[in-house]
Structure 1
Amino acid sequence: MKYSLATALTLLAGSSMVSGHAIFQKLYVDGVDQGHLVGIRAPDSNSPIEDVTSDNLICNTGLTHLSDTIISVTAGSTVTAEWHHTLSSEGDTSDSDEPIASSHKGPIITYLAAIDDALATDVTGLNWFKIQEDGYDGTNWAVDRMISNNGKVDITIPSCIPDGQYLMRHELIALHSATSYPGAQFYMECAQIEVTGGGCAEPDTVSIPGLYASTDPGITVNIYYGLTDYTIPGPTLFSCDA
């Protein structure tokens, strides 16, 4: 049996996927560390979601860590999400997959949804809008940049959104096995924030699930052969200037 180079690379990447995962587990507000798992809903497991029709795509599943903190954020400020391979791997120089295996290339995306109570456990039926996205620049992926930045990703909270409580869904999509569906791996956690000093914008929103389709070119894609451009999945990025 003959295998193409793309097939071989896909199999090689897939062989390391058990040990190559990651969890978003810390948030900084204007550079100030809010603490490990503070204001973030997280599981013990770093396994991905692969079904784009599942409610688990909202804020993950098996959420054994449910923080009772809502993090205060000023509209227009910068928050920084921090990823690590496991809940205990921060600073572990012996972990070659810290913060995530370099094979797990793909985009990083952030969404917000207004919610009456950011501590509520029912997260179905919310209306989400995209506030950050980073994909492929022709050479490197968002994941490459996150790894180079020690697991950190900067996100600007739009200055024009209304005051109130929100869930911030921060997501990494690994595409190393995405040549067919299911194959793309979705890693996400939700942070609980309260925005002050905002405006009165009314962003267009989407539902989760419903956000992605299995046929989206940014979901089912061969990243190993002939890729010159990549379409980040999901809705248009929200802008206060739009």
Structure 2
Amino acid sequence: MKSFVGLALLAATAAQVAAHYRFTSLIVNGVNTGTYTNVRQNSNYNSPVRLNPFLYDAGTSLNWVPKQVTDVSSTDITCNAGGRSAGSTTTATVPAGSTIGFALDQPIYHSGVINVYMAKAPSTASTFDGSGNVWFKVYQLSAVTNGGSSIKFPADNLSQVTFTIPSTLPAGEYLARIEHIALHSASAYPGAQFYISCAQVKVTGGGSRTPSPLVALPGYYTGQEPGIKINIYYPIVSMTLMWVYTTCSCLSLRVELAYHLRSTWARCLDRLKEQKYL
């Protein structure tokens, strides 16, 4: 029975696992430097794989299922779960003014926005955990709106994200942090999902300009910002599909599907297929 329960749990989480993605490698001079070579490896698998709060079996512990990053006050918001320490990550050397980037293990699946921050390490990037008011933004890929009548997300389906290191950035070792804020279920907090990775880079050349403003992560976000707590489906019509039950022997899987959707059944069906429920 335990083996059956285990298989059923794996099957139940497979849809969510398949839907997620990670920034796993750094791109330097147009070359992918390798999976988790210069990018710190997170400990929650394909972040943010989560324990579905409506997945239930009375006799089985589900604590092994990694939790997603939705709490902006958590230290996981710095470099993802397990990313505040370097582990075996090495530091890539990049000149100021050059273009670098992050590659994903699969294309971005959820609609949302991208931000890239950097933080100068007091000594080496490998010993820096990203604490304090040290982060400054160097890149963003925002939503595109049309007078409030539509919203599009240029980050959709990207398999890599590139950006330019400021040419005036002082030389030294830095953490480069990328986040994709997925907004498909962000109408209430905590609903937005943060897909985060941190790379270690040593910037050469550069200038003497001090970046500003500097913010803390966690600390900068409250979770109530319009870009984090937002209903991206327009017109705003709330449609809640109540309890859906599937019973397999003694195992009960309970999934609540709650979406703020466009007022068409076609859109509703698309979202269900997207989440692998159809």
Tell me by how many angstroms 1:137 deviates. Answer: 1.6
Map 1:34-49; keep pairs closer than 5 Å. 34-44=33-43, 45-46=45-46, 47=48, 48-49=68-69
Higher relative CO (CA 8 A, sep ≥ 6), structure 1 or 2?
Answer: 1
Identity of aligned residues (%): 42
**Equivalence for 2:118:** 112
TM-score (norm 2): 0.65
Single out whichever of 19-28 and 106-115 deviates more from structure 2. 19-28
Q: Are residue 223 (structure 1) and residue 229 (structure 2) matched?
A: no
Deviation at 1:19? 3.2
- Amino acid corresponding to residue 51 of structure 1 in structure 2: D
Instruction: Tell me how far apart the structure 1 counterparts of residues 17 and 226 of structure 2 sit (CA, whole Å).
Output: 25
Separation of aligned partners in 1, 2:89 and 2:142: 32
Is residue 86–residue 127 contact of structure 2 (8 Å, CA) maintained in 1? no
- Contact 1:114–1:126 under 8 Å retained in 2: no
CA contact (8 A) 1:40 1:67 kept: no
**Partners of 2:76 and 2:82 within 8 A in 1:** no
Pairwise CA RMSD of aligned residues? 2.1
Matches within 5 A, 1:44-193: 44=43, 45-46=45-46, 47=48, 48-63=68-83, 66-84=87-105, 98-101=106-109, 104-115=110-121, 116-120=123-127, 122-125=129-132, 127-138=134-145, 140-144=152-156, 147=157, 149=158, 151-193=159-201
- After superposition, the Cα gap between the structure-2 partners of 1:65 and 1:23, relative to the gap in structure 1 and judged at 3 Å, is farther
Unaligned runs of 5+ in 2: 1-13, 49-67, 146-150, 237-278
Checking the alignment, whether the CA contact within 8 Å between 2:86 and 2:126 is kept in structure 1 is: no
Q: Which shifted more, 60-69 or 127-136?
A: 60-69
Task: Judge which range, 170-179 or 112-121, deviates more.
Answer: 112-121
Taking the aligned partners of 1:202 and 1:130, their CA distance within structure 2 comes to 13
Deviation at 1:74, TM superposition (A): 0.5
Once residues 196 and 65 of structure 1 are traced to their aligned partners in structure 2, the CA distance between those partners, rounded to angstroms, is: 21
Deviations 1:73-97 (A, max 9, x none): 100000021112xxxxxxxxxxxxx
Name the amino acid aligned to 1:189: S
Deviations 1:94-137 (A, max 9, x none): xxxx3232xx1000110000002111153322500000000112
TM-score (norm 1): 0.74
Corresponding position of 2:247:
none
State whether structure 2 residue 213 is matched by structure 1 residue 207: no
